[in-house]
Amino acid sequence: MKFTLALAQIDTKLGVVSANLDKHLDYIQQARKQGADLVVFPELSLTGYILQDLVPTVAASPTPNDPTFAPLLKASKDIDILVGFVERDARSLHYISAAYLSQGALLHVHRKIYLPTYGMFDEGRFWASGDSIRAFDTRFGRFGVLICEDFWHASPPYLLWMDGAELLIFISASPGRGLTDSPKLESARWVEHVCGAYASLFTCYVASNNRVGFEDGVTYWGGASVFDPLGELVAQGPYHEEALTLAEVDTRLLERTRTRLPLLRDERPDLVQRELSRILNPPREESRP
Amino acid sequence: MKELSINTDLARKILTGFIRDEIRRAGFNRALLGLSGGVDSALSCYLAAEALGPHNVLAVRMPYTSSNQSSFDDAQRVIDAAGVQSITYPITQIVQPLLDVIPLEENVRRGNVMARARMLVLYDFSAASKSLVLGTSNKTEILLGYSTQWGDSAAALNPLGDLYKCQVRQLAAAVGVPDSILRKAPSADLWPGQTDESELGFNYDDADRLLFRLVDKRFSLEDCFAEGFDEKFVNKVMARIQKNHYKRIMPPIAKLSNRTFGYDFLYLRDWGT
């Protein structure tokens, strides 16, 4: 099967959900016009990233009665949509979440697992962390979604691979940092490096989308990218500018690659599980007489 | 210094974007800045002109009676090349009456008065011209505390604050700042013959290499000694970083309530924009 995905690397208004929603609807329409089957928005695309004390004021719920999600669900009748939002659960815990909408319904929600709380990041102060990593079936194949720091760790992409994902979708609000003599920031180089590596190691598609714009002095670098199962970069958005980047995903290429290079067939998750069990549960030292 | 060399195209793109975005989000279209004829304010002026359009940038020259004529002329070269609006407002007529009332013998106190007089002028023009004041401090001087609090350090936004002095020079050369400005010894020009490096007691290139290790690369003092940096120099720089930290943060508010600015009332300046 072939389908076209579109990565919308947008800027956002900090804490102004209605303005951000309008921009989403505009990009969704553009993506449709250009023939995309799925449009992907960045992390916290409906709210902006450095929300701090704004977190509880901008939460939305991916249900038909929610004023933010109602028009998005309606728009998803024609094109699948992945959006980033602030999710509040029944216990008033807030998550950095991503909702996959398709044919007018909610198909999947991923809650960010790893909340960076070091250096310039302070997510652990404001957010609860998710506790599940699941691939899910769509009309275009089986996908997995991760949010920013989730894919700085190797285990979430690995688990999605084991769970059958053919396309890994990574969404970020990645602050640009590490200016050197290279034309790329260190943060951009790192993300592209690991996305290419995951695509190669897991013989799957990896689509990564990152926002642009500024929040106070922090700049987001954009540079959406798609890697194919050979690890080749097949589409890339510009750095530091809003853009809609389209790429074709061909599951036949994935199948051919996995025939030639059967890393998935030969992977030994049972061995991983056994060794992890040993590592996590070392035998107790016998007490000395 | 390979380790401190920067991609100037990328820096230029990010910094012009920052100036444009942050000024417009605050509800303005224009910027102004004090133009001394030195490399920091020259670069800031070029970047602002590129970000906002030269007609939206006001360069203010504020010489004191003892200010260096060649700096004044260098500032004119920047104004001409960048095509920005300009005005000259000598601060002698502000500073002199104050010195008549409070005779200040020490250079540092006189220099502080001049720096704050310039701040007064800039902030007044800021209101009059509906422009925001662009800071021109670089990372080296912010770390060393080589500035006057509420004087030259006062600004609405600061594009150069994360670039070391040698990186400012690289970017300045790339955007076309005239050679006469790039080559001359850095000076606050607060009294005749003053240069930054003679006042600090070390040169900027050495300071940049050391600060890059201490700050960006998180080296310990011992790591720096092991790389051959002089122990006295390292200790002197470290002491300056620590002693001047108060200039890098907002004045602390004594916490009494359950919600206090700076501790648990946390919003970006870009809130709602």
Instruction: Please state which of the four CATH numbers 2.70.150.10, 3.60.110.10, 1.10.10.10, 1.10.1040.10 is assigned to the domain occupying A2-280.
Output: 3.60.110.10
Q: In what order do the strands lie in the sheet with B30-34?
A: B85-88, B57-61, B30-34, B131-133
A181 touches chain B (CB under 8 A): yes
pLDDT at residue A288, as a whole number? 63
What value does the mean pLDDT of chain B take? 96
pLDDT at residue B192, as a whole number? 84
Q: What is the average pLDDT across A242-269?
A: 97
pLDDT at residue A287, as a whole number? 63
Q: Which domains does chain B possess?
A: 2-185 (3.40.50.620)
Shortest distance between the Cα of B243 and any Cα of chain A, in A, equals 22
A206 touches chain B (CB under 8 A): no
- Residues on chain B touching A176 (C-beta within 8 angstroms): 14
**Angle B231-243/B204-211 helices, nearest 10 degrees?**
70
Q: Give the closest of B21, B266, B269 to A213, CB-based.
A: B21
pLDDT at residue A283, as a whole number? 82
pLDDT at residue A71, as a whole number? 98
Residue A117 predicted with pLDDT over 70: yes
A17, A44, A120, A179: best mutation site toward chain B, by most B Cβ within 10 Å?
A179
A112 is catalytic: yes
Q: Find the catalytic residue in A87, A123, A148, A195.
A: A148
Q: Find the catalytic residue in A23, A87, A112, A123.
A: A112
pTM to 2 decimals? 0.95
- Residues on chain B touching A187 (C-beta within 8 angstroms): none
Residue B13 predicted with pLDDT over 70: yes
Distance CA B170, CA A201 (A): 40
Residue B235 predicted with pLDDT over 80: yes
pLDDT digits (tens, 9 = 90+) for A59-78: 999 999 999 999 999 999 99
pLDDT digits (tens, 9 = 90+) for B65-79: 989 999 999 999 999
pLDDT at residue B150, as a whole number? 97
Record the tokens describing residue A102, joined without a space: 């398709």
Q: What is the ipTM of this complex?
A: 0.93
What value does the mean pLDDT of chain A take? 97
| Chain A residue nearest residue B271, CA to CA | A14
Shortest distance between the Cα of B1 and any Cα of chain A, in A, equals 11
Q: Using pLDDT thresholds of 50, 70 and 90, give the confidence band for residue A289.
A: low
Q: Which of A279, A282, A289, A249 is nearest to A167 (CA)?
A: A249
Shortest distance between the Cα of A5 and any Cα of chain B, in A, equals 28
Q: What is the average pLDDT across B164-175?
A: 98
A13 is catalytic: no
pLDDT at residue B105, as a whole number? 85
Domain boundaries, chain A: 2-280
A148 is catalytic: yes
pLDDT digits (tens, 9 = 90+) for B75-105: 999 999 999 999 999 999 999 999 999 988 8
Residue A85 predicted with pLDDT over 90: yes
